[in-house]
Structure 1
Amino acid sequence: MSDKRPVVIDLRFARESVVSALRSAFPDRPVIDMGDPVSADRDLSEAEFAVVWKPDPELFRRATGLKAIFSGGAGVDHILSAYELPDLPIIRFVDRSLTDRMSEWVVWQCLHHLRNGIAYASQQRDRVWHEIAEQPEARDVTVGVMGLGVLGTDAVRKLKVMGFDVIGWSRRAKSIEGIKTFDAATLDAFLGQTDILVGLLPLTGDTRGIYDRALFSKLRRTGPLGGPIFLNAGRGGSQKENELTKCLADGTLNAASLDVFEKEPLPADSPLWTMPNVIVTPHAAAASDVRALFRHVEAQIARVEAGKALEFVVDRTSGY
């Protein structure tokens, strides 16, 4: 029997993915899986680590012996904004597979809009054979990425490989080789050069509702795509959906690809579902691979046991 203290798992993911991943995870440590009904009344006071995604609010009151809390995703706003938390390290999920998936979604959507994907999909439904004459190259289009953390930095590099002119924005100045970057003081200059705006910001007090009519109206209107395009795979709370919808209807925005929303699942009566210039994906841009998540947690626990510092610890002041 292991003398190590338990790790508690409370993940609102597809149940089968958690069960499957747990078969090979944490082989030397007891696991309390809160998704299993037999764990409902378990004593959690001995649990040493918690791996969570939108957990039961009672968890942190019951698990009084925790040393660290691991987020089940790259974002941590689901923890910081919804719970009364103990004074413990909170660890973001950083993993190659998650990063790659996010960049794939961003590149896919940028190419889709570049190559008239919405128009051609409509023509296919109507059985229309018509080649759109105007076809700009990627080098003609400036993609502006807001959020230059792990995900944003990878996305700008891969967009650059595809030939796009890429610029980046973060609240605090960052330097990325080969990429022109902007900070809070130069946001308007960044927006004025942007044809496709990519939102990869974390959700904090500063970023909540940042994507609104005032911001969209500052995007470049004379670019080769006929008007600005908005992509958001960061956090739904960063966009004001009522204003976003109106901007898509009146031409302030030419089109959008949206993976995150203020309320999820996106309500059936949302006009975004049926707008012809909108692509909706169900918060699937960078779904967490549960096996990769558990490997990440195991690696960080091993650091603790070796007397090393945890990596990817959230700054609670900044929110990421």
Structure 2
Amino acid sequence: MSFVYKADPVRGREWASLFARHAPDIPFHIWPETGPREEVRYLAAWMPPDDILKTFPNLEILISVGAGIDQFDLSALPEHLPVVRMTEPGIAESMAEYVTMAVLSLHRDLPVYINQQRQKVWREIRVTSAARRKVGVLGLGMLGLAVLQQLRPFGFPLAAWSRSGGQVDGVDTFAGPGMLSAFLARTDILVCLLPLTDATRGILSHDLFAQLPHGAALVNVGRGAHLVEQDLLRALEEGQLSAAVLDVCEAEPLPLDHPFWDHPQILLTPHIASMTRPETAVDVVLDNIRRHAAGEALIGLVDRTRGY
């Protein structure tokens, strides 16, 4: 019974050290090293091998090293193979920090001031109180809940939309396609934390932007494929959107000739909003291995009918 890690090898070495300390009985390998492939029972990966069961014929669990699983082609994975999302708490903590930074930056007009600094312009903008700036979060999973909790002390009126809904203290919640328009109409700063599925691909589009109040702003920390990039540029040019903070893009790294690099209304970061922390990730993975051995439910098990 062995474990293979197929992602960033630097972090893989940290995982290896933690496995040696906490689970010395489980042989640990960093791809492309695998040891005897018929002995591999657990695979943690960003991108699994193309023919996963041919590579690892006795694999029992596939674990994503990130919170999302959209990089996996679920249709190409055997139906009996459990697929597990990474649920370690460091992902939610760092995402909540980043989104708080982004929302406050938009609330206090930081993109405008950065552009003014470049132009050597000294011009103040009247401050709007947080109580008058409505923040809306698309997505009400682990990350969405962490973000809402972090934003609550600032006094923003908070709302969240998800497909299935839910109740959160101090947050107006909207559920299902029929309530999306009402959610957008009350949202000044929109945060996208949706999983990427066929239903959400391209959701950040001209039609959605048109339903936001004029001059609203966007934070995309979901996936680059959520955003129709030309529609964002058009919305910024027309003034329907005032600014955007983007941590994810359709092509990563972003091509050097891409208009996002120099756009005065866009703040851009290189997909760093949240990162898996090896020390807590290994704890979560080892707990799931224990659960699997005991026949208990796995934490973060993907529902293939929903795609997340």
Specify the TM-score bucket, using the shorter chain as the normaliser: over 0.9
Q: What secondary structure, in the 3-state scheme, does the structure 1 residue paired with 2:38 have?
A: coil
Task: Work out the CA distance in 2 between the residues paired with 1:238 and 1:317.
Answer: 20
Aligned residue among 142, 153, 158 for 2:145: 153
Q: Residues 123 and 113 from structure 1, CA distance in 2 versus in 1: closer, same or farther, beyond 3 angstroms?
A: same
Amino acid paired to 1:87:
H
Aligned residue number for residue 3 of structure 2: 7
User: 1:249: Cα distance to partner?
Assistant: 2.1
Amino acid paired to 2:259:
P
CA RMSD of aligned residues (A): 1.7
Aligned residue number for residue 244 of structure 2: 256
User: 1:263: Cα distance to partner?
Assistant: 1.5
Aligned residue number for residue 274 of structure 1: 262
Consecutive unaligned residues of structure 2, counting only runs of 5 or more, are none
Native 8 Å contact 1:47 1:65 kept in 2: yes
Aligned residue number for residue 116 of structure 2: 123
Q: What secondary structure, in the 3-state scheme, does the structure 2 residue paired with 1:51 have?
A: strand
Task: Work out the CA distance in 2 between the residues paired with 1:273 and 1:249.
Answer: 15
For structure 1, which segment, 248-257 or 97-106, has the greater mean C-alpha deviation from structure 2 after superposition?
248-257
Q: Deviations over 1:107-131 (max 9, x none)?
A: 1011011112112223333444433
Task: Work out the CA distance in 1 between the residues paired with 2:237 and 2:133.
Answer: 23
Task: Work out the CA distance in 2 between the residues paired with 1:10 and 1:189.
Answer: 43
Task: Work out the CA distance in 2 between the residues paired with 1:295 and 1:278.
Answer: 37
Task: Work out the CA distance in 1 between the residues paired with 2:305 and 2:56.
Answer: 24
Native 8 Å contact 1:60 1:86 kept in 2: no
Task: Work out the CA distance in 1 between the residues paired with 2:3 and 2:286.
Answer: 10
Native 8 Å contact 2:148 2:158 kept in 1: yes
Aligned residue number for residue 23 of structure 1: 17
Q: Does 1:318 align with 2:306?
A: yes
Native 8 Å contact 1:45 1:64 kept in 2: yes
Task: Work out the CA distance in 2 between the residues paired with 1:46 and 1:209.
Answer: 41
Native 8 Å contact 1:80 1:319 kept in 2: no
Amino acid paired to 2:247:
D
Native 8 Å contact 2:111 2:243 kept in 1: no
Aligned residue number for residue 202 of structure 2: 209
Task: Work out the CA distance in 2 between the residues paired with 1:60 and 1:258.
Answer: 37
Task: Work out the CA distance in 2 between the residues paired with 1:110 and 1:181.
Answer: 19
Amino acid paired to 2:134:
T
Task: Work out the CA distance in 2 between the residues paired with 1:210 and 1:111.
Answer: 24
Q: What secondary structure, in the 3-state scheme, does the structure 1 residue paired with 2:72 have?
A: helix
Aligned residue number for residue 240 of structure 1: 228
Aligned residue among 200, 211, 217 for 1:218: 211
Native 8 Å contact 2:88 2:276 kept in 1: no
Q: What secondary structure, in the 3-state scheme, does the structure 1 residue paired with 2:234 have?
A: helix
User: 1:262: Cα distance to partner?
Assistant: 1.3
For structure 1, which segment, 54-63 or 255-264, has the greater mean C-alpha deviation from structure 2 after superposition?
54-63
User: 1:24: Cα distance to partner?
Assistant: 2.2
Native 8 Å contact 1:147 1:199 kept in 2: yes
Aligned residue number for residue 69 of structure 2: 76
User: 1:81: Cα distance to partner?
Assistant: 5.3
Consecutive unaligned residues of structure 1, counting only runs of 5 or more, are 222-226
Task: Work out the CA distance in 2 between the residues paired with 1:171 and 1:268.
Answer: 36
Residue pairs, 1:94-133, within 5 angstroms:
94-132=87-125
Amino acid paired to 1:28:
D
Q: Does 1:177 align with 2:169?
A: yes
Task: State how many pairs are aligned.
Answer: 304
User: 1:58: Cα distance to partner?
Assistant: 4.1
Task: Work out the CA distance in 1 between the residues paired with 2:17 and 2:164.
Answer: 42
